[in-house]
């Protein structure tokens, strides 16, 4: 634990909550509308963390993208409409995470940073966490670089009124590790999300916690 830390910035998908089911539901609704093959949740796990455009592009077969380059734009529009219907199906945090965040909020400023669409991030945080726990929640916006760019992370840091060296990003992916490096903030990786522990270590994770209980213990 680092005594100088004043703010914790949590990733959402795979860190606070398992959102794969709702995402897969929306992707498969989109694929069916386009008469394309559907996907399993395990497949969708490999598409996420890079934002909605990358997500939907990966879900579309390569040959379909080559035949019709405009299909990604059309599919993204359809996916956004479908995910608007399914995203709130994520109605709880990982077991134990609510208690952990509530306890940590007594001592640290809490924020959420995700590559999910900004409006959905804000709505999910309102649904998943008690009011007043999270001070700022940000997702992807058109025209704004997403993680691993430090752009939004820096805006969060400024809004929280802390210095970059007083922040720690908590996330489950290599993208979170890169984001922390680019924003010059500390990183704590979690192993219960969508990346394997081996992948996290390969991408430079030096500290990894394996359960919400271990996460809370880290800060004691």
Are 37 and 144 found together in one domain?
no
Are 31 and 128 found together in one domain?
no
Are 155 and 67 found together in one domain?
no
- Whether the predicted pLDDT of 1 surpasses 70: no
Residue 48 pLDDT: 86
Q: What is the pTM (predicted TM-score) of this model?
A: 0.92
Are 123 and 170 found together in one domain?
yes
Give the tens place of pLDDT for each residue, 39-66: 999 999 999 878 889 999 999 999 999 9
> Please, which residues bridge with residue 112 across strands?
10, 137
Residue 163 pLDDT: 97
Are 74 and 167 found together in one domain?
no
Residue 3 pLDDT: 85
CB burial of residue 87 (10 Å; 0-12, 13-18, 19+): buried
> Nearest 5 degrees, angle CA 132-CA 52-CA 48?
85
Are 112 and 168 found together in one domain?
yes
Are 49 and 129 found together in one domain?
no
Residue 142 pLDDT: 87
Are 130 and 79 found together in one domain?
no
Q: Domain for residue 13, yes or no?
A: yes
Domain boundary among 38, 56, 89: 89
Q: Domain for residue 131, yes or no?
A: yes
Are 67 and 150 found together in one domain?
no
Q: Which domain holds residue 58?
A: 20-89
Please give the order of strands across the beta sheet that includes 208-209: 136-140, 109-117, 7-10, 167-171, 186-190, 208-209
Are 207 and 113 found together in one domain?
yes
Give the tens place of pLDDT for each residue, 102-132: 999 999 999 999 999 899 999 999 999 999 9
Domain boundary among 89, 107, 124: 89
Domain count, the chain: 2
Report how far residue 137's alpha carbon sits from residue 192's, in angstroms, rounded to the nearest whole number. 22
Q: Domain for residue 77, yes or no?
A: yes
Count how many Cα atoms sit within 13 Å of the Cα of residue 53 in the half-sphere of its side chain.
9
Q: Is the peptide bond before 90 cis (omega within 30 degrees of 0)?
A: no
Asked if 199 contacts 193 with a C-beta cutoff of 8 angstroms, the reply is no
Q: Which of 179, 158, 154 is nearest to 169 (CA)?
A: 179
Are 66 and 158 found together in one domain?
no
Are 164 and 60 found together in one domain?
no
* Average pLDDT for 57-76: 95
Give the tens place of pLDDT for each residue, 135-188: 999 999 989 999 999 999 999 999 999 999 999 999 999 999 999 999 999 999
Q: Domain for residue 2, yes or no?
A: no
Give the tens place of pLDDT for each residue, 191-220: 999 999 999 999 999 999 999 999 999 998
The domain that contains 112 carries what CATH number? 3.40.50.1000
Q: For 188, list phi and psi in degrees, rounded to 5.
A: -125, 120
Q: Within a 10 A sphere around the Cβ of 45, how many other Cβ atoms?
A: 18
Q: Domain for residue 148, yes or no?
A: yes
């Amino acid at each position: 634990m680092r005594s100088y830390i004043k703010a914790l910035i949590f990733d959402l998908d795979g860190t606070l909550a398992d959102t794969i089911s709702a995402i897969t539901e929306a992707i498969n609704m989109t694929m069916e509308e386009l008469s394309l093959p559907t996907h399993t949740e395990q497949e969708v796990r490999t598409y996420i963390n890079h934002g909605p455009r990358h997500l939907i592009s990966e879900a579309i077969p390569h040959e379909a993208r080559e035949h019709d380059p405009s299909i990604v734009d059309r599919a993204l529009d359809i996916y956004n409409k479908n995910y608007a219907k399914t995203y709130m199906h994520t109605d709880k945090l990982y077991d134990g995470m609510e208690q952990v965040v509530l306890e940590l909020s007594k001592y640290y400023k809490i924020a959420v940073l995700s590559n999910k669409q900004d409006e959905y991030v804000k709505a999910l945080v309102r649904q998943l966490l008690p009011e007043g726990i999270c001070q700022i929640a940000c997702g992807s916006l058109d025209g704004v670089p997403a993680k691993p760019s430090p752009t939004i992370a820096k805006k969060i840091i400024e809004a929280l009124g802390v210095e970059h060296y007083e922040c720690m990003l908590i996330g489950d992916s290599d993208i979170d590790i890169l984001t922390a490096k680019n924003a010059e903030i500390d990183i704590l990786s979690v192993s219960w999300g969508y990346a394997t522990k081996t992948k996290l270590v390969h991408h430079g994770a030096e500290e990894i916690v394996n359960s919400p209980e271990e996460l809370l213990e880290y800060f004691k």
